[in-house]
Every structure is written in structure tokens, then in C-alpha cells.
Structure 1
């Protein structure tokens, strides 16, 4: 692969359920294998010099799934943190989250906050988990945060610009994704990073997330390297 600089990659990790179904396994086993793949993709991101990796782990809509599946997903989140925290520390990876994480199961949230605190000074890259996240919810939360701040200050609502609004998003200090990867062949954003993905390049693969590894990640970056990013302008 030619030398391509990609600072931020976002991934919609899709296909866990289908992966399990094709193997005659419970859906939770697909999610478990999908969690294992995070390690391989995170290592690949480091090797390719990607500074930020944002993974769509649990959406605001996922609460509509069967209670047993949601409970299993919360349990897997706890397992993931227990298993990966030593590795994150060893490799200097900082863990961050975006979303309404206050609504996660208490046990999962406690472990999550502990891992975030433990890794906050790491500087070898950032793993950003979107948990109880929705793109529309993020925009609504940003508007409400802005309004509450203005009310508290007792001042008039200032003129809003794209730059000033961005400051109220969940992770305003993280650059917008250069590349969005979606696995399993689906062609939709699924309410993910609606503001931040405005000019991101998109790469869709039929590979299911539990089968997506370093090779597939490299192919996505290779495809990105062939793109001509114009950000709405013309040559």
C-alpha cells in the first residue's frame, strides 16, 4: 500500500448476527467474535498510523432488541474492558466514548469509566467507542447543552456558526473521520456521526465484521488512497 495518511477511521461494525446464524451459533457468539476482532483492527490501525479509531458499538436504537440480547451485549462490554484494558495500557491506547453512556447498565458503565481514567494519559492512539450513541441524539444534546449554557450565563443566544456548534458535540477535539468503513454490505449510515461524516469517504465491504481483520482494513485504506477528496469543491 502506498503511503496514505489517514488520521481518523470510523467503522460501522455490522454482521455479527449473520455470522453466527451461518454457523448455527447463538447470536451472542457473533457479538463475542466481533469483540475479538476489535483487537486485530486496533493493531492494524496502529501499524498504519491511524490516530483515531471510532467504532459504532451500541446505538440508541439497539435498546429495541430483545432484553436477553441487550443484557448479553452489556455483559460483553464488561468482558471487553476486563480483557483489553491491560493491552490498551501496554500499547499506549487511550479509551474514549461518545454517546449517552449514563444510560448504560451500571456495571458496564463503572468499568468503562475506570478504563477511561486509567488510559487518559496514553498517547499511542485513541479508541473511541460509540455507546448508546445516535447521530440525531448527539445533535439534540449539543443544542440543549448550548441553550443551557446561554441560559445559565443570562445572555442572549449568540449567532451560531458551524465552528461554534462543533464545540458542543460529544468529541469536538477529535477530527472528523477521513474514512467510514461499513461491513456486511449494507448501504446506510444508520444514524452514525451525521455531523462528522459530512465529507468523509465511504468504503463498504460484504465481509461480515467477525471476519474483518488486518487484511481487510488495509484494503479499505488502499481504496481510500485512490480517492480524490474535494470537500465539495471542483478542480
Structure 2
């Protein structure tokens, strides 16, 4: 017998690998960028659904450190899409009380995009509703490497005693240091891999791999996954007595 869903049973932090935009477009005889534009529209619906589902934190994987390997046309189109999305959605996100932050390495991003990212973070920094984190030029291994560099520099500067470094230390240097770890990680499009996403943070997350391509992913499907999560018995390595 399944237990009834209560908001407190649901995931507080959901992370999503938004996969399948290109395939969605190809299936319709359209260029891949058409699918990315459709996927961007889907983000709004999912963000708007979060409060009613008890999701306080939503992290979405927008562009990975590996995505630079795609064609120059697709990469340029994605960067243009990111600039357009931020410009178009900024006021709506503010009105919905959504606090936005970006994680990832900004070094390879153009100045205009970086400025827009900074402006959106500043615009929404006092919002107290849903926390939306956008992973842009993000890779889990890259994040850990950058965090380790910062940690090592603090050791070299005498700010940190290496003898006191433990598993609670490194998270303070990660891009996500102000966020709780994800409770539920969802990947769309039928692929069953984590693709270098939130490697450290997802050590105890529950995973859902769904066949739906991201542009077809709906608030209703998110709700079903949240309800499914609420039925799970999470023991974190302990034995239930």
C-alpha cells in the first residue's frame, strides 16, 4: 500500500538534465536550434509549477563544458538563445519572486552574456520564492577542479589548515555552496547517464530517467515524478529498524 503524498515528503531540491531538444527538432524535420528554442519555453512552465509541488530549489543543466564540441553554428545559436532568454524572462522571473543564480565557469562566455547574467542575479537577489539555478558552461569535474584550486590556495596562504580538511570542507568551495544538495535528479530523453552533472552534490540523490524529450516534458510529468519520489524509503546507508 502506497502512502499518501504530503508536501514534506517531496523533494526540496530538484535538478534536471534537459536532454532531447535536438532530437525533438530532427523528428520534426527542423534544425536542432528549433528544438532548443522549444526547450527554453518549457523551462518557464516547469519553474512556475515548482511552488505548488513544494520544490524550493530547481537547478537546470543548460550548457555543459563538453557542449563546446558541437558545431560552431549550434554553439553560436545557443549563446544567442541564452542572451535572449535572460533579456525576455528577467522581469517575469522577478515578478514571480524567483531568485536566479548561475553556476559554471564564465571564462569562455562572451561579455554581453556575462553582463546579462550578472544583471539577472542582481535583479532577483532579494526574491524569496523558488531558487532557480542555471548551470551554464558547467561540468562537475571542472567544478571540483576549480574548487580544489581555491582550497589549495587558501592552504598555501595559511587560511586553511590541511589537517582539518574533510568532506565538509570542499562543498564550501563549490559553485553550489549556498544551495542544499539535490534530492531528485531527472534526466529526460531516455538516456541513462548523469553526464558530469553535480557529481559531488548528487551522492545521495534519487534519480529518474524518463523517455520524454525535454520540449515535451510537462508540469504534470514533473508532478508525477515528485509523487513517486515521496513514496521512496530514503535510508542514506542506514538499516531501517
CA deviations 1:82-112 (Å, max 9, x no partner) are 1111111101101101110232122211111
For the pair 1:32 / 2:37, whether they are aligned, the reply is: yes
Unmatched runs of 5 consecutive residues or more in structure 2: none
2:169 is paired with a residue of what secondary structure?
A: helix
Partner of 1:2: 5
Determine whether 1:84 maps to 2:89. Answer: yes
TM-score normalised by structure 1 residue count = 0.96
Matches within 5 A, 1:53-64: 53-64=58-69
Does 2:109 correspond to 1:104? yes
* TM-score using structure 2 length: 0.94
Aligned match of 2:171: 166
Q: Secondary structure at the match of 1:158?
A: helix
* CA displacement at 1:156 relative to structure 2: 5.1
Distance in 2, Cα, partners of 1:92 & 1:12: 23
1:18 is aligned to 2:18: no
After superposition, where does 1:54-203 map in structure 2 within 5 Å? 54-153=59-158, 157-203=162-208
Task: Tell me the CA shift for residue 197 of structure 1.
Answer: 0.5
1:101-147 Cα offsets, whole Å, 9 max, x none, are 23212221111111111111111111100111001011111110001
Measured in 1, the distance between the counterparts of 2:77 and 2:129 equals 31
CA contact (8 A) 2:10 2:229 kept: no
Q: CA deviation at 1:155?
A: 6.5
What is the number of residues matched between the two proteins? 235
**Bigger mean CA offset, 42-51 vs 195-204:** 42-51
Unaligned runs of 5+ in 1: none
Taking only aligned residues, the RMSD between alpha carbons, in angstroms, comes to 1.3
Distance in 1 between residues matched to 2:167 and 2:64, nearest whole Å: 25
